[in-house]
């Protein structure tokens, strides 16, 4: 019997397994597919390694940096060459206001200069400074906060697209506390959101010149390769867990097509729609709550152009607000964003389509998606060239949606598991943060809980 079995080999499961491995715990990781990494995947396009999904991680949250340190990768990490993004608004690409925090403007002159808002939208945003306190008590949505304080235009043209670029979600239905805790914290200082963000930035004394993101010049997949190398034989690929049962003498038996695996404790890190059926017979409450978490699907199209055919974009890329009706939601101009992708003869663009409530791209053929995105790139950014090579990556049900009340739902899942299935823990992107640092942090916390259970149980 292993001490701990980890279900799922994305960044969360790999971090759980690494933490246990470093603590000399007998750990095994069962991964359903033929590779580890989950939503992290890097592959060659025109001879260069380019990410098919996550390409950067926040450095303010230390967990991913600490993992890179453990894997001896820190010296290789790079920061984006530019973070200046634009947004499609009023029929043109306009620079995002410089003085904004997660899309929330905190300087009205800077907001006016960006040209993103109409005169009426600017006047409505300014009302925030004089309106009284009007905060609801319960966990509200991001949209509710932004619309009541700063108006619809700030929401539809700034905050919504910016946050949508992170979770492909609808910020009107995104929990402020669970989905964007940094914004919840920044909004808590003063009834005026503008003043509150100003105060928050003063108090946190953030160095504006410090890099916000890091990435690896050979792609995020390098971090997965290093984890796999470290864990080696602890990982079993092509082993989908299809069921589990409690052993009368303690511990759990997990079933896979290759046969049963026994463990004193189990950490489930697969997406919640895959975790839910495993727990249906053991904890109907947890199983139902897991099934209730929605996911958005995205299609990622990476395009490689001959540098001679295309004029480099002035910035790291651009966002398209959902109300514009375009298929494209964002374009990351990867060779402008990353110096290592901009040095060679090829210009790389990573274009995304699809968000919660818009599955059009998932129902279109690859050819049709590419044709439509190229047409939109021509309208929006004047790209008229034909790509030398195109790669289409589908990410069905990939980004968990944190609805208002999300943190209570997660706490309910954890309580139900503690009562109904002692020794079984569930975590990952759908729980307390979907960014890579949050996944690493959650993987470590779950590892410590499982280790303690296995040692005492």
Ligand X SMILES: Cc1cc2nc3c(=O)[nH]c(=O)nc-3n(C[C@H](O)[C@H](O)[C@H](O)COP(=O)(O)OP(=O)(O)OC[C@H]3O[C@@H](n4cnc5c(N)ncnc54)[C@H](O)[C@@H]3O)c2cc1C
- In this structure, is the dihedral angle defined by the CA atoms of residues 356, 358, 363 and 364, taken in order, positive or negative? negative
Of the candidates 432, 449, 448, 430, the residue with the CA atom closest to the CA atom of residue 39:
430
Cβ at position 269, least distance to ligand X in Å: 5
Distance CA 220, CA 55 (A): 6
Phi, psi of 263 (to 5 degrees): -150, 150
In the complex with ligand X, the residue whose CB is nearer, 54 or 450, is: 54
Of the candidates 401, 397, 367, 380, the residue with the CA atom closest to the CA atom of residue 326:
380
Using CB under 6 A as the binding rule, whether residue 13 contacts ligand X is answered as: yes
Using CB under 6 A as the binding rule, whether residue 56 contacts ligand X is answered as: yes
**Binding-site residue total for ligand X (CB under 6 A)?**
36
Which part of the chain contacts ligand X (CB under 6 A), choosing from 9-17, 115-123, 141-149, 378-386?
9-17
Using CB under 6 A as the binding rule, whether residue 300 contacts ligand X is answered as: yes
- How many C-beta atoms surround the C-beta of residue 47 within 10 A? 10
Q: Is 408 exposed, middle or buried (0-12, 13-18, 19+ CB in 10 A)?
A: middle
Using CB under 6 A as the binding rule, whether residue 432 contacts ligand X is answered as: no
Candidate list 20, 27, 319, 398; residue touching ligand X; CB under 6 A: 398
Candidate list 28, 38, 68, 151; residue touching ligand X; CB under 6 A: 38
- How many C-beta atoms surround the C-beta of residue 107 within 10 A? 15
Using CB under 6 A as the binding rule, whether residue 6 contacts ligand X is answered as: no
Which part of the chain contacts ligand X (CB under 6 A), choosing from 35-43, 117-125, 148-156, 226-234?
35-43
Which part of the chain contacts ligand X (CB under 6 A), choosing from 65-73, 145-153, 314-322, 435-443?
435-443
Which part of the chain contacts ligand X (CB under 6 A), choosing from 28-36, 322-330, 375-383, 410-418?
28-36
Candidate list 96, 266, 374, 399; residue touching ligand X; CB under 6 A: 399
Using CB under 6 A as the binding rule, whether residue 141 contacts ligand X is answered as: no
In the complex with ligand X, the residue whose CB is nearer, 106 or 348, is: 348
Cβ at position 10, least distance to ligand X in Å: 2
Distance CA 136, CA 144 (A): 10
Using CB under 6 A as the binding rule, whether residue 235 contacts ligand X is answered as: no
DSSP string for residues in 185-253: HHTTS-SSHHHHHHHHHHHHT--TTS-SEEB-TT-THHHHHHHHHHHGGGEESS----EEEE-TTSSEE
Phi, psi of 344 (to 5 degrees): -85, -165
Judge contact between 54 and 222, C-beta under 8 A.
no
Judge contact between 11 and 269, C-beta under 8 A.
no
Q: Which of residues 245-274 bind ligand X (CB under 6 A)?
A: 269-271, 274
Binding site for ligand X (CB under 6 A): 7-13, 30-33, 38-40, 53-57, 240-241, 269-271, 274, 298, 300, 395, 398-399, 428-429, 434-436, 439
């Amino acid at each position: 019997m292993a001490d701990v079995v980890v279900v799922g080999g994305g960044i969360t499961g790999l971090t759980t397994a690494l933490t246990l491995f470093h603590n000399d715990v007998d750990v095994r990781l069962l991964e359903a597919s033929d590779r580890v990494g989950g939503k992290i995947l890097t592959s060659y396009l025109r001879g260069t390694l380019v990410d098919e999904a996550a390409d950067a991680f926040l450095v303010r949250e230390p967990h991913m940096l600490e993992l890179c340190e453990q894997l001896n990768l820190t010296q290789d990490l790079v920061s984006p060459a530019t973070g200046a993004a634009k947004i499609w608004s009023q029929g043109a690409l306009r620079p995002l206001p410089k003085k904004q925090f997660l899309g929330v403007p905190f300087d009205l002159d800077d907001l006016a200069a960006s040209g993103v808002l109409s005169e009426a939208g600017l006047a409505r945003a300014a009302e925030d400074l004089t309106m009284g306190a009007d905060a609801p008590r319960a966990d509200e949505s991001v949209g509710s906060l932004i619309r009541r304080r700063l108006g619809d235009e700030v929401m539809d043209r700034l905050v919504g697209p910016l946050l949508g670029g992170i979770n492909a979600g609808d910020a009107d239905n995104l929990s402020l506390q669970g989905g964007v805790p940094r914004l919840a914290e920044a909004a808590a200082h003063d009834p005026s959101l503008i003043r509150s963000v100003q105060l928050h930035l003063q108090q946190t004394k953030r160095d504006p010149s410090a890099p916000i993101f890091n990435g690896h010049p050979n792609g995020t997949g390098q971090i997965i390769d290093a984890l796999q190398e470290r864990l080696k034989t602890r990982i079993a690929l092509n082993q989908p867990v299809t069921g589990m049962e409690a052993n009368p003498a303690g511990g759990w038996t997990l079933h896979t097509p290759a046969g049963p695996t026994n463990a004193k404790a189990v950490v489930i890190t697969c997406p919640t729609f895959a975790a839910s059926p495993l727990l249906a017979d053991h904890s109907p409450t947890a199983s139902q709550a897991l099934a209730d978490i929605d996911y958005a699907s995205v299609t990622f199209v990476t395009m490689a152009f001959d540098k001679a055919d295309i004029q480099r974009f002035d910035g790291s890329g651009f966002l398209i607000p959902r109300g514009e009706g375009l298929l494209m939601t964002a374009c990351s101009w990867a060779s402008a964003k990353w110096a290592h992708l901009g040095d060679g003869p090829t210009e790389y663009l990573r274009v995304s389509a699809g968000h919660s409530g818009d599955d059009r791209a998932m129902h279109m053929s690859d050819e049709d998606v590419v044709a439509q995105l190229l047409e939109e790139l021509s309208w929006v950014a004047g790209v008229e060239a034909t790509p030398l090579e195109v790669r289409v990556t589908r990410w069905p049900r990939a980004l968990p949606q944190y609805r208002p009340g999300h943190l209570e739902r997660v706490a309910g899942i954890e309580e139900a598991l503690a009562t109904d299935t002692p020794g079984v823990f569930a975590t990952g992107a759908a729980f307390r943060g979907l960014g890579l640092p949050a996944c690493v942090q959650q993987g470590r916390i779950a590892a410590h809980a499982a280790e303690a259970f296995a040692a005492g149980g």
